Amino acid sequence: MKSFNVPVHYRSPLVTAIKQKRKADDKMKKDFTPTTLELGSLHIILARHFGFCYGVENAIEIAFRAVEENPGKRIFLLSEMIHNPGVNADLQALGIQFIMDTKGKMLMNWDDLQADDVVIIPAFGTTLETEQILRDRGINPTQYETTCPFVEKVWNRAGKIGDDGYTIVVHGKPGHEETRATFSHSKAHTPTVVVKDMGQAELLARYISQSLPAEQFYEDFKGQFSEGFDVNKDLQRIGVVNQTTMLASETQAIADYLKEATLDHFGTPSNKAGERVADTRDTLCYATNDNQSAVAGMLETDADLALVIGGYNSSNTSHLAELCELKLPTYYICDEHCIVSENEIRHFNMHNNDEETTKGFLPLQRPLRVMITSGASCPDALVERVINRLADMTGNAVKTQQLIDAWS
């Protein structure tokens, strides 16, 4: 796989040594058992796969290159480059300005842009409508486009099956940048509807079976369907694609459920399923799959608690936290400073969408066993700093070079 030129302060010599050793021992990536670091009375159980993925490293490299290649020019990002506050702050410190927030709210006027400005497309991609706005202002949106290749793969697949006469069902968070972009690209080819979870998939199945009045669809899925969507006609042949950072297992479950509902309603035999439901399994992101499988492998080991590191608005990170909290106390943190003391931690509560403080989060028994993973937009250096923070607070100061030597 290609090696990217990203700032050295995002790298961790320790994590790099561990990842390289695990990769050398498991070239086919079939082993999802975690890595255990025994630091005195602190045992760190590190997920097999975590941190920067291909798409994120590609985006970071392009963004920093855009700054280097355009001295004196105004440089803009459509929205956050990735969902990591540290990386976005670094880019802003270089003078990059954001045009909109992650929900699409404008932070400036389109008319303020000039033809010689540079605009970077973030890793999530953007809508065809936004691309046209930039072109109308004389700006080439593809000059520094950092759209993840795996997101583009979903767009291409959606376009292909849409051209073949299928309606696209996008499994994603309706307000997320990637979902908005995928919806835009898909609806240019075919009728498209977004479902956010299995509950909405079950609701959509009732419209496929025509057990709910068609007119109710437009209220139940308000803002989630393409213009001119015809419930009676456009749900006869479907294909499910995903926002690449969703739970892969949930996307597959939704696809299986809608497939069964469609075949049952139209009386289509399984050997002719392709006439009604397109095969879209190849739209699942490898990094999302690997990181989630690594968490599943990690959870087979006993531990006292789990730390999940990443931006609080990161979809893929939130799903890693969801998986962990099914088994043990889990704290979703954005950096090492969230570990305030041995007795106190600040962490994100996904259920009320707010940061909260928990006291007494570290058990007293020793050795203390802590699981750690991070999202696809989290630098490895941040993982190392969290490990060091825990080690210092538990009286197990890390001799980093010794660990690096042991794994090299």
pLDDT tens digit string along 176-234? 999 999 999 999 999 999 999 999 999 999 999 999 999 999 999 999 999 999 999 99
Q: How many structural domains is the chain composed of?
A: 3
Determine whether 178 is an active site residue: yes
Note the pLDDT of residue 9.
Answer: 94
Note the pLDDT of residue 333.
Answer: 98
- Domain end (from 120, 145, 170): 145
Note the pLDDT of residue 1.
Answer: 61
Spatial separation of the C-alpha atoms in residues 140 and 119, rounded to whole Å: 8
- Domain end (from 283, 312, 339): 283
Note the pLDDT of residue 397.
Answer: 85
Note the pLDDT of residue 282.
Answer: 66
> What percentage of residues in the chain have a pLDDT greater than 90?
87
CATH number, domain of 310, equals: 3.40.1010.20
CATH number, domain of 141, equals: 3.40.50.11270
In the block, residue with structure tokens 């399984």? 270
What is the pTM (predicted TM-score) of this model? 0.91
- Domain end (from 113, 145, 177): 145
What are the distances in angstroms from CA 382 to CA 308, 322, 326, 340, 389? Answer: 11, 21, 25, 16, 10
Task: For residues 248 and 299, state if they share a domain.
Answer: no
pLDDT below 70 — which residues of the chain? 1, 282
Task: For residues 191 and 306, state if they share a domain.
Answer: no
Note the pLDDT of residue 110.
Answer: 97
Domain residue limits at 360: 8-53+287-407
Task: For residues 276 and 321, state if they share a domain.
Answer: no
Catalytic residue among 80, 131, 178, 384: 178
Task: For residues 141 and 237, state if they share a domain.
Answer: no
Note the pLDDT of residue 408.
Answer: 82
> Does residue 3 belong to any structural domain of this protein?
no
Count Cβ atoms within 10 A of the Cβ of residue 253 and give its class: 0-12 exposed, 13-18 middle, 19 or more buried.
Answer: middle
